[in-house]
Amino acid sequence: MKPLNELLNEFVGRSKDILGENLRGVYLHGSAVMGCFNPDKSDVDLIVTVRETPSEEKKRAFMEMTVALNADAPEKGIEMSVVRESLCRPFVYPTPYELHFSAGHLDRYREDPEEYIREMNGTDKDLAAHFTVIRARGRCLYGPAIEDAFGEVPAGDYLDSIWFDVEGAAEEITEYPMYLTLNLARVLAFCEEGSVLSKKEGGEWALARLPEKYLPLIRNALQEYTEAADVGYDAGLSEEYAGYMLDRIAPYLGPAPAADD
């Protein structure tokens, strides 16, 4: 595994080589800029902005580069999206993207790279959350300053984006206890206080504000997340916690923003 800064520098350099003048910027977000990066639990989150849609040939070269660097990345690998700069400022929701990769897609890409590249474009609600984190705490690795590259993300779009990530928590929390315990906390923190938090910060926020009976669950999730510890979860308590949190979040939810034609 390469040191993070070495990996990022190589990603930027090779992106320049492949995309040339079409490359506008490379921006880091996620745990690496929010003070909670854990090589055993975190991925490397990147947004790449371009002037125009890259050719299929350029997309293939860019994917090959990303997959090669993914082998030297932390345990969860690289997650990146390529987006046209014109959709970042002013912000468009749900945001169209040109190309996406995460380590979970590696086998699918290797089975049929051409099909993967053809299909891996569309719109992604998660980009509203990613852009919000970039504007609040991100790091520009190359290109225009963040305030010049990314327009404001309306609060309703951000909330819709992060809600999309947890709306199935009542059924899914026993399968993904750490992830959903902490994510529900940071969604509620945004709803009640407008705070844009990491998973770790969301858990810490919840420890100071939620009923005492849920605190052992949150502490376990934080321990697993920050220490890669092997912890146990009470399934019944987890399900009760999910219901409680969803009930507290529900009053803040408005109609979902309409998709652009």
DSSP letter for each residue of 105-143: GHHHHHH-HHHHHHHS-EEETHHHHHHHHHHHH-EEEES
CATH class given for the domain over 4-152: alpha beta
Structure confidence at residue 90 (pLDDT) = 97
Residues 6+ apart with CB under 8 A from 32: 4, 42, 44, 45, 139
Structure confidence at residue 38 (pLDDT) = 81
Summarised one tens digit per residue, pLDDT across range 92-125 is: 999 999 999 999 999 999 999 999 999 999 999 9
> How far is CA 39 from each of CA 3, 7, 74, rounded to the nearest angstrom?
10, 13, 5
Summarised one tens digit per residue, pLDDT across range 243-257 is: 999 999 999 997 644
Name the one residue in this structure whose structure tokens are 């206080």: 193
Q: What is the chain's percent helix, strand, coil content, to nearest 5?
A: 55, 15, 30
User: Residue 127: how many CB atoms within 10 A of its CB?
Assistant: 26
Q: What is the reported pTM? A: 0.92
DSSP 20: G
Q: Cis bond leading into 90, ω under 30°?
A: yes
Structure confidence at residue 229 (pLDDT) = 83
Range in 1-5, 62-66, 125-129, 171-175 with the lowest mean pLDDT: 1-5
**Strand positions, DSSP E, 85-225:** 95-97, 99-101, 122-124, 139-142
| pLDDT(261) > 80 | no
Return the amino acid letter for 31: S
Summarised one tens digit per residue, pLDDT across range 199-236 is: 999 999 999 999 999 999 999 999 999 887 899 999 99
pLDDT exceeding 90 applies to what percent of the chain? 90
Residue 95 to residue 154: CA distance in whole angstroms: 13
More confident site: 41 or 178: 178
Nearest to 166 by CA among 193, 184, 191, 192: 184
126's tokens: 């998660």
| pLDDT(259) > 80 | no
184's tokens: 């529900």
Summarised one tens digit per residue, pLDDT across range 130-162 is: 999 999 999 999 999 999 999 999 999 999 999
Structure confidence at residue 55 (pLDDT) = 97
pLDDT interval class at 40 (50, 70, 90): confident
| pLDDT(237) > 60 | yes
> How far is CA 106 from each of CA 67, 95, 109, 112, rounded to the nearest angstrom?
8, 23, 5, 10
3 half-sphere exposure, CB direction, 13 A CA radius: 3
99 bridge partner residues: 82
Query: Which residue intervals of 93-250 are DSSP H helices?
Result: 106-111, 113-119, 126-137, 146-149, 155-166, 169-172, 177-193, 199-207, 215-227, 235-249
DSSP 55: P
Residues of the chain with CATH 3.30.460: 4-152
**Torsion 27-31-36-38 (CA) sign:** negative
Residue 213 to residue 193: CA distance in whole angstroms: 22
CB 170 within 8 A of CB 242: yes
